[in-house]
Structure 1
């Protein structure tokens, strides 16, 4: 068989020896010992570089991305002010400008090797269905380049925001994939519980997964995460629910935190850490010691809970940085969660690849014959080097086609041997 692409001498994530990887018809067709002869239209010699089966971005807000280009400054730097600034901007949204901003960020993500992505989109009476329509339009533009899931996100609440529940059903009918939520942003614990119950009602109606922002607060009395786990079990939605942020978990006393983590494991809830945004936003009003708001990653992993990590925000009212690069987010998480041991570094690479794929329920996410030929070759030999250097993406292959390539040249006009002695 003539191959479309042969990737030679590549260190495929999860394999201990260098491989030659054959691609034809958009799929992997061979994976064997390096040095085997093969006929290919395009041959790429990885020279021992590592490769992953595409990065997974499980949590981002494309409808808000790049909005800082025209938004007032968030003076307090808090989550509350970020949301309030957005109110006026959302009233003036247009479908096309949302699609255009999202497309710019998606193109950047693709260059960084992201081949699967889940984005939240605000659904409320302020912006109506326009944000969802804009992201559906952007998704269509990237249909052959990236698998994109859209989450209906009621940031303004459901119970306290009349009309939102109907809008969520409307956008689900229009092509949104996942039911979102933000239960702590209601006026009482009873309304927070009702918020989650409504989300499950909608999810059952559309046979959809659920992905909620949960307890994105420093308040150790926030309790919606445990309610989400309880209702996941009650509704038989184990494995189909994801909780993002969960900052309050970082402030819980140990005994209650362990109880909640055990319930999350029982409910098979996926967890998403968002280190960039939460390091920036949480603890703003604290004196020292200052809480940092990143969820209990090590403890969740140790309990057997699936944990991934995501970008969350890109140049918006919540976060002024971000380039939708999973290696940057992984690098931040290594610091925020103090994951520096060799095994922990490997786990963090899992968090931006396979763990994210599990949260998005991506089938057969691996480099193996018969699988969809998505591959990112990094200019690094291992995960530690990849994070430390935020390694350039040497090649990005999507469905068997080379779609991005990075070539770097460094010219040094000095000679360290000639440096004067001290």
Structure 2
């Protein structure tokens, strides 16, 4: 394949040659260049690495269904019970909703996804199986890692660890955990179960952490203790961790240093209140950071629209970024940063100025999008997009390509 007349990361016009799903050459644009095989007209658009959503809940999405007024009660447990009370009422099955939403994500430029799949005494494996069906429906268009996620905790209801074990034997790739102190109220036992499952299935771990301030730091220290003891460096992600930066400057520095030492990755959803560890400092220390949309118009929240470029705008906005370099860094986080968290992903970002993903040898996962500059593309979020996964066009003009 030859992609003609695109501007990698907003640079000079180039032609990109792809073979066997890999970029093999990036050359100055030549209108007279002879094309062999397929040709994609770049038309002067930007060429960016495709986006990676490393924190979404495809099992709870209501995208494509009529808008529903929000009925959730405050707090994780209140929201979870609201979801439990209503998720079976939807006009579409979990598989239909997950498949539709994943298709919208691909159309808008996402080709790598880590999705939570709720495992609990209420739904058993039904929601996991729905996400697995969506993954299979879009095989070849998108890489999907499914996380077995105990949304209601591991200890509050009988049989959840056994259900998690079954999911991990049936296609789930990641072991999830959630708020070891505030939800299960037994952090040692909760984390023992999580890391035992990870060891038995040789799977990475992703902990959903909403806990505030010093309590969140306490849970993180228990996690770090296990990472050291079990030689799990590079295999653990902390998701959300909204409040870890609120305790003290010394604690912030220590956590960043330890995350870098043990290769603890972080997934953010760009929350409105920025009390987490600072994004630029994490990248400068070598910590892998990815971005996700979280819920997408579900029983938890009306927010989310399947467009990771929209969430990239939110990441820049909530961090107070105005400089082009920092807005571009948000694009790097939303693309290669997130991809580096997933198994067999590309290398991590090296600095806030790192702009990887479009050199010879890189996987040809690309987003071509109209824009004067990368920053303007984030602000405008044009519908003129072409999406490639492994060197094949999978979406164009916000429509899937067969």
TM-score range, shorter chain: 0.7 to 0.9
**2: CA distance, partners of 1:24 / 1:268:** 32
The alignment status of 1:186 with 2:183, answered yes or no, reads yes
Q: How many residues align?
A: 385
Give the SS at the match of 2:243.
Answer: helix
**2: CA distance, partners of 1:397 / 1:8:** 14
**1: CA distance, partners of 2:291 / 2:281:** 15
**2: CA distance, partners of 1:71 / 1:192:** 36
Map of 1:325 onto structure 2: 307
Question: Aligned runs of 1:89-238 on 2, under 5 Å?
Answer: 89=86, 92=88, 97-182=93-178, 183-188=180-185, 191-214=186-209, 216-222=210-216, 223-238=218-233
Retained in 1: the 8 A contact 2:7–2:45? yes
Retained in 2: the 8 A contact 1:230–1:267? no
Retained in 2: the 8 A contact 1:78–1:318? no
Map of 1:417 onto structure 2: none
CA shift, 1:157, in A, is 1.1
**2: CA distance, partners of 1:72 / 1:86:** 13
**1: CA distance, partners of 2:264 / 2:17:** 36
Q: What is the TM-score normalised by the length of structure 1?
A: 0.83
* Farther off after superposition, 120-129 or 69-78: 69-78
Retained in 2: the 8 A contact 1:186–1:192? no
**2: CA distance, partners of 1:302 / 1:257:** 14
Give the SS at the match of 1:84.
Answer: helix
Deviations 1:261-290 (A, max 9, x none): 222222111111112xx42xxxxxxxxxxx
Map of 1:249 onto structure 2: 244
**2: CA distance, partners of 1:226 / 1:43:** 52
Identify if the C-alpha distance between structure 1 residues 376 and 156 changes in structure 2 by more than 3 Å, giving closer, same or farther. Answer: same
Retained in 1: the 8 A contact 2:181–2:219? yes
Retained in 1: the 8 A contact 2:148–2:176? yes
Deviations 1:169-210 (A, max 9, x none): 00001111111110244343xx11321221111111111111
Map of 1:410 onto structure 2: none
CA shift, 1:100, in A, is 0.4
CA shift, 1:74, in A, is 2.9
Give the SS at the match of 1:125.
Answer: coil
Which consecutive residues of structure 1, in runs of 5 or more, have no partner in the other structure?
Answer: 280-290, 408-422
Which consecutive residues of structure 2, in runs of 5 or more, have no partner in the other structure?
Answer: 348-356
Map of 2:321 onto structure 1: 339
Give the SS at the match of 1:257.
Answer: helix
Identify if the C-alpha distance between structure 1 residues 184 and 16 changes in structure 2 by more than 3 Å, giving closer, same or farther. Answer: farther
Retained in 2: the 8 A contact 1:28–1:373? yes
Question: Aligned runs of 1:12-411 on 2, under 5 Å?
Answer: 12-13=8-9, 16-35=11-30, 37-66=33-62, 73-74=70-71, 76=73, 78-89=75-86, 92=88, 97-182=93-178, 183-188=180-185, 191-214=186-209, 216-222=210-216, 223-275=218-270, 278-279=271-272, 295-364=277-346, 366-369=357-360, 371-406=362-397
**2: CA distance, partners of 1:363 / 1:238:** 16
Identify if the C-alpha distance between structure 1 residues 229 and 382 changes in structure 2 by more than 3 Å, giving closer, same or farther. Answer: farther
**1: CA distance, partners of 2:89 / 2:59:** 10
**2: CA distance, partners of 1:212 / 1:202:** 13
**2: CA distance, partners of 1:262 / 1:93:** 46
Retained in 1: the 8 A contact 2:72–2:300? no
CA shift, 1:399, in A, is 3.1
CA shift, 1:220, in A, is 4.1
Greater relative contact order (CA < 8 Å, ≥ 6 in sequence)? 2
What is the Cα-based RMSD across aligned positions, in Å? Answer: 2.6
Retained in 1: the 8 A contact 2:237–2:265? yes
Identify if the C-alpha distance between structure 1 residues 234 and 377 changes in structure 2 by more than 3 Å, giving closer, same or farther. Answer: same
CA shift, 1:240, in A, is 1.3
